[in-house]
């Protein structure tokens, strides 16, 4: 793995004071041999940002405007040649960071998305969420011929060139946009299976708003439809 690559691990956060120290400790453990920074865009009312800063993370405070917009801010502020996204709730395995970095730095992939919809999932995701996520991925495979099985994952690894090339447009369906538009732009993409852990803290996702946004996103780029920004 090239020593010159700087890695950014970026996360949006909203009231994650129960999990944030665990997340940062895990990131530090699995990036010991990497030149890595941690960037958090925080919209919390609790002590998330205070804890993160005390542990050496770079915290950007932003009014709560949605998960996707926070993640877009974090990605745009990242200094790394390779950017890894995650959530601050301990659901995604930081142990996969070295593998993700290697896939981009050594094997030439521009974007690696992490699929939760596999035999390791078990009961860590509600059945209703599983059905919705599998349905969204099926539509993406059907419409775009992309071999993908999870288009709502929060864990990606991307080269900076992906973010510099694409002007992102969505908020609540941002993960789906990342996958669709990266393929449309001709970037070399792949998907790997990961385990998905139980969340620490309260669930903040609005399922209905998010679900409608995902459907609009999938149809938008297939049929060149126009939707209002707050619908995506």
In this structure, of 99-108, 136-145, 201-210, the range with the lowest mean pLDDT score is 201-210
Strands 111-115 and 6-13, sheet pairing: unpaired
Q: Which residues pair with 40 in a beta bridge?
A: 11, 59
Q: What is the mean pLDDT of residues 207-220?
A: 95
1 pLDDT above the threshold of 50: no
Q: Where are the domains of the chain?
A: 6-231
Quickly state the pLDDT bin for 2 (edges 50, 70, 90).
very low
Q: In what order do the strands lie in the sheet with 58-61?
A: 58-61, 35-42, 6-13, 82-85, 156-159, 111-115, 189-193
Q: Of residues 5 and 221, which shows the higher confidence score?
A: 221
Query: What percentage of the chain reaches a pLDDT higher than 70?
Result: 98
Tens digits of residue pLDDT in 108-124: 999 999 999 999 998 88
Q: How confident is the model at residue 3 (pLDDT cuts 50, 70, 90)?
A: low
User: Please, are residues 166 and 181 in contact by the beta-carbon 8 Å criterion?
Assistant: yes
Q: How many angstroms separate the CA atoms of 173 and 77, rounded?
A: 20
* pLDDT for position 180: 98
Cα 125 to Cα 132: distance, rounded to the nearest angstrom: 11
Tens-digit pLDDT profile for residues 12-27: 999 999 999 999 999 9
CATH: 3.40.50.300, 3.90.1150.10, 3.40.50.1000, 3.90.550.10. Which one for 6-231?
Answer: 3.90.550.10
Instruction: Determine the Cα–Cα distance for residues 221 and 207; give it in Å rounded to an integer.
Output: 22
- Given a cut of 50, whether residue 103 has pLDDT beyond it is yes
Report the share of the chain in percent with pLDDT over 90.
Answer: 91
Q: CA nearest 200: which of 13, 12, 20?
A: 20
What pLDDT score was predicted for residue 224?
94
pLDDT of 96 above 50: yes
**How large is the average pLDDT for residues 116-144?**
95
pLDDT tens per residue, range 15-60? 999 999 999 999 999 999 999 999 999 999 999 999 999 999 999 9
């Amino acid at each position: 793995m090239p020593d010159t690559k700087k890695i950014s691990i970026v996360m949006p956060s909203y009231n994650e004071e129960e999990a944030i120290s665990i997340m940062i400790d895990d990131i530090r453990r699995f990036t010991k041999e990497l030149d890595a920074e941690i960037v958090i865009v925080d919209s919390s009312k609790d002590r998330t940002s205070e804890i993160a800063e005390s542990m050496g993370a770079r915290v950007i405070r932003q009014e709560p405007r949605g998960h996707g917009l926070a993640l877009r801010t974090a990605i745009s502020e990242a200094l790394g040649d390779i950017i890894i996204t995650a959530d601050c709730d301990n659901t995604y395995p930081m142990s996969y960071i070295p593998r993700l970095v290697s896939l981009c730095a050594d094997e030439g992939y521009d974007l690696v998305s992490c699929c939760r919809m596999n035999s390791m999932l078990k009961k860590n995701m509600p059945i209703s969420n599983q059905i919705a996520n599998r349905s969204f991925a099926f539509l993406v495979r059907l419409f775009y011929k992309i071999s993908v099985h999870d288009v709502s994952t929060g864990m990606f690894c991307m080269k900076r060139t992906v973010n510099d090339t694409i002007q992102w447009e969505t908020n609540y369906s941002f993960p789906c946009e990342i996958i669709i538009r990266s393929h449309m732009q001709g970037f070399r993409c792949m998907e790997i299976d990961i385990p998905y852990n139980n969340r620490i803290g309260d669930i903040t996702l609005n399922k209905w708003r998010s679900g409608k946004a995902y459907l609009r996103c999938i149809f938008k780029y297939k049929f060149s439809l126009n939707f209002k920004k707050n619908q995506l």
